[in-house]
Chains A and B, each alone.
Chain A
Amino acid sequence: MSDAVKQEEHAGIGPRRLPAASICCAIGWLGLLLAVGLFGPWLAPYDHTAIDLLDRLAPPIGFGGSLSHPLGTDELGRDLLSRLLVSIQMSVLIACGATLLGAVLGTLLGFLAAHMRGTVEQIILALVDFQATMPFLILALAILAFIGNSLPIFMGLLALHGWERYARIARGLALGANAQGYAGAVWQLGASPVRIYLFHILPNVMATLIVSMTIAFPEIVLVESGLSFLGLGVQPPATSLGSMVGYGRDYLASAPWILIIPAATISTMALSVSLLGDWLRDRFERTGLR
């Protein structure tokens, strides 16, 4: 390879290279999880709550199990594959919903702070500082204790995770964009603030916000699974990956697969999004999109 080509590639303007194998695996795995998230319950061989006490704690295939329960069964004889598919749907739904809600809320507040300045900005920044200071798990537990739990409350609660990051980024970028010619030009043409922020500034700051979402998503997956593991998140009969790990804990010695299968799913999901986020960040940095 000539030096010129090397330099071009280094500057990010050369021929596009395919992403590394790990990134391809991560994208493939996330695609599969998303498909399961969309169609999980229809793919499940059994109802995830169907109990079969005669077939309790059956091991998965390869460890003495049979094809009728490929991933084995739990302490009540419920099929683990079916439970896993339903749990993935629940966890993906909650994590996607909470990430999107958090991004919308944070970005709107960030834009509001950048537009209004003054007292409004100071109040939003004080809230940002407060949220960044307190560990989110503690705030979440306090809210769950005071208000109680239901699926919409739980999702709204997780949406509060990381809103301050979007707010800070959106405010900073909007202040920067306001100082640039294009925002001023649209302003002079008489566009409304909503139009300027949504149609002109937002597309320009989208790349950075998407990278932030890839940081927030695995964190939300981990917080959701942690709370569900503690028995304070998703409530039965609904199930999520974290609550599956929580139930599996009591059978750690006799049936470790109940715990290991959902635990591995949580970790690989979070790992895949993290790898994808790192890769996206590198790409945006190289192409100067940030």
Chain B
Amino acid sequence: MTFLVVRLARALLTILIVVSFAFVVLRLSGDPALAILTNEAPPEALLAFRQSWGLDEPILVQYFNYLRTIFSGDLGMSMRDGRDAFTVVAERIPITLAITVPALMLSIMIGVTAGICAAFNPNSRLDRSIMLGAVAGFTVPSFVLGLLLVLVFSVWFGVLPSGGAQRWTNAILPIVTLGVGSAATLARYTRAALLEVLDRPYVRTASAKGVPWWQTILCHALPNAAIPMVTILGFLVGQLIAGAVVVENVFSWPGVGRLLVASVASRDLAVVQCLLFFVAATMIAANIATDILYSLFDPRLRASANRGGA
């Protein structure tokens, strides 16, 4: 119980910092009224905006007013289509999930398999090629990989569409592009985690007792290797969100990432702010899920947290 309370308190602190971050950068942008309503707005509108957001108050009062407005759920209106910023963002979320969830599954499939193959043949040619592939997967930017896939599969072979979201085939290239980048990270982690575990005395003891190798791997090595691997779940979600911003723009996929870049380019600040909170909420949820999974896999952590140690 203490464990969950500590995690929730940390989550609340992060939310507070994100909202404060938005407040600080909004203030740094100069006059928020001008930034959100632009120079073309009539003076009455600017005045009304300043009064409604309390911009004529002292800065500390403004800060608490801002916190109150945000936490009451008022995230502002989108400048570009005049609707509630939250609605504009919410309708794009399922479209982004349609590529990020399959990409996450693809990366787990490729990354974990490659990592296991590499760990069982350390320093072999297979291991070296997998690790070289993993480094390359990390150093080739997703927009380059995406455009190369378009060049090969859309331009040269003409088998897959290069962009848009009309049919399910349009999702294949974005999913592969997103999945391969995360798979590279996962392969390196899986290999490192397994190698660490395979060196442990309990694995040697199991082998010495005559336990078949597959049983040693399945029952002893993998569950313990899973513990450090769970910790990168939050990192992977972050990588997928950042990847989606770039990949959606490469493939003209009408999701959250494309909305973010379009909103940044047109300085639609209410939408950018809403997207910032949405990403923060997702990351906090992913980190809490990571913590819970971690404690499920590793009872020692739960015990120490319940004693108030962590």
A63 proximal to B (CB < 8 A)? no
Residues of B within 8 A of A275 (CB): 135
Question: Which residues of B pack against A, CB within 8 Å?
Answer: 10, 13-14, 17-18, 21-22, 25-26, 28-29, 35, 135-136, 138-144, 147-148, 150-151, 155, 234, 238-239, 241-242, 245-246, 249-250, 260-261, 263-265, 267-269, 272-273, 275-276, 279-280, 283-284, 287
Residues of A within 8 A of B135 (CB): 271, 274-275, 278
Given the interface pairs A147-B28, A230-B249, the reply to whether A127 lies near B155 with Cβ below 8 Å is no
Fill in one digit per residue for A22-45: 1 if any B CB lies within 8 Å of its CB, else 0.
Answer: 000000000000000000000000
Inter-chain contact A229/B25, CB cutoff 8 Å: no
Given the interface pairs A135-B241, A229-B246, the reply to whether A270 lies near B139 with Cβ below 8 Å is yes
Inter-chain contact B139/A138, CB cutoff 8 Å: no
Residue in contact with B276 in the complex, picked from A129, A138, A245, CB distance below 8 Å: A138
Of the candidate stretches A10-18, A191-199, A202-210, A248-256, the one touching chain B is A248-256
A259 proximal to B (CB < 8 A)? yes
Name the CB-closest residue of A to B26.
Answer: A146
B285 to chain A, nearest CB (A): 11
A225 vs B275: C-alpha distance when bound (angstroms): 22
Residues of B within 8 A of A218 (CB): 138-139
Residue in contact with A133 in the complex, picked from B139, B147, B148, B283, CB distance below 8 Å: B283
Inter-chain contact A231/B265, CB cutoff 8 Å: yes
Name the CB-closest residue of B to A136.
Answer: B242
A175 proximal to B (CB < 8 A)? no
A263 vs B150: C-alpha distance when bound (angstroms): 14
Inter-chain contact A133/B25, CB cutoff 8 Å: no
Residues of A within 8 A of B35 (CB): 146
Dominant SS among interface residues on chain B: helix
Inter-chain contact A147/B151, CB cutoff 8 Å: no
Interface centre among B263, B280, B284, by most A CB within 10 Å? B280
A259 vs B136: C-alpha distance when bound (angstroms): 18
Inter-chain contact A134/B261, CB cutoff 8 Å: no
A23 to chain B, nearest CB (A): 13
Residues of A within 8 A of B279 (CB): 134-135, 138
A229 vs B147: C-alpha distance when bound (angstroms): 12
Q: List 15 A-B contacts (CB under 8 A).
A: A129-B13, A130-B18, A133-B14, A135-B238, A138-B242, A139-B21, A142-B21, A146-B269, A147-B29, A218-B138, A218-B139, A231-B265, A249-B147, A267-B139, A267-B140
Inter-chain contact A253/B155, CB cutoff 8 Å: yes
Given the interface pairs A130-B14, A230-B249, A263-B147, the reply to whether A142 lies near B141 with Cβ below 8 Å is no
Residues of B within 8 A of A225 (CB): 141, 143
Inter-chain contact A145/B280, CB cutoff 8 Å: no
A137 to chain B, nearest CB (A): 4
Interface centre among B17, B18, B136, B269, by most A CB within 10 Å? B17
Inter-chain contact B22/A142, CB cutoff 8 Å: yes
A141 vs B249: C-alpha distance when bound (angstroms): 14
A148 proximal to B (CB < 8 A)? yes
Q: Name the interface residues of A117-175: CB closer than 8 Å to any CB of B.
A: 126-127, 129-130, 133-139, 141-148
| New A-B pairs, 18, CB < 8 Å, besides A226-B141, A252-B151 | A129-B10, A129-B13, A134-B18, A135-B279, A142-B21, A143-B25, A218-B139, A222-B139, A226-B246, A231-B265, A232-B264, A252-B150, A252-B155, A263-B147, A271-B135, A271-B139, A274-B139, A275-B135
Interface centre among B13, B141, B263, by most A CB within 10 Å? B141
B25 to chain A, nearest CB (A): 4
Inter-chain contact B280/A134, CB cutoff 8 Å: yes
Residues of B within 8 A of A271 (CB): 135-136, 139
A266 proximal to B (CB < 8 A)? yes
Dominant SS among interface residues on chain A: helix
A285 to chain B, nearest CB (A): 13
Inter-chain contact B151/A133, CB cutoff 8 Å: no
A263 vs B148: C-alpha distance when bound (angstroms): 10
Inter-chain contact B14/A135, CB cutoff 8 Å: no
A240 to chain B, nearest CB (A): 13
Name the CB-closest residue of B to A143.
Answer: B25
Inter-chain contact B276/A226, CB cutoff 8 Å: no
Inter-chain contact B264/A145, CB cutoff 8 Å: yes
Name the CB-closest residue of B to A246.
Answer: B143
Residues of A within 8 A of B155 (CB): 252-253, 256
A113 vs B149: C-alpha distance when bound (angstroms): 46
Inter-chain contact B260/A138, CB cutoff 8 Å: yes
Inter-chain contact B272/A145, CB cutoff 8 Å: yes
Residues of B within 8 A of A252 (CB): 147, 150-151, 155
Interface centre among A137, A147, A229, A253, by most B CB within 10 Å? A137
A41 to chain B, nearest CB (A): 25
A44 vs B66: C-alpha distance when bound (angstroms): 52
Inter-chain contact A226/B22, CB cutoff 8 Å: no
Given the interface pairs A145-B263, A146-B272, the reply to whether A135 lies near B239 with Cβ below 8 Å is yes
Please name the 3 residue pairs, one residue from A and one from B, whose CB atoms are nearest each other, closest first. A270-B139, A137-B242, A135-B242
Q: Name the interface residues of A257-271: CB closer than 8 Å to any CB of B.
A: 259, 263, 266-267, 270-271
A136 to chain B, nearest CB (A): 7
Name the CB-closest residue of B to A229.
Answer: B143
Residues of B within 8 A of A230 (CB): 245-246, 249, 261
A139 vs B275: C-alpha distance when bound (angstroms): 10
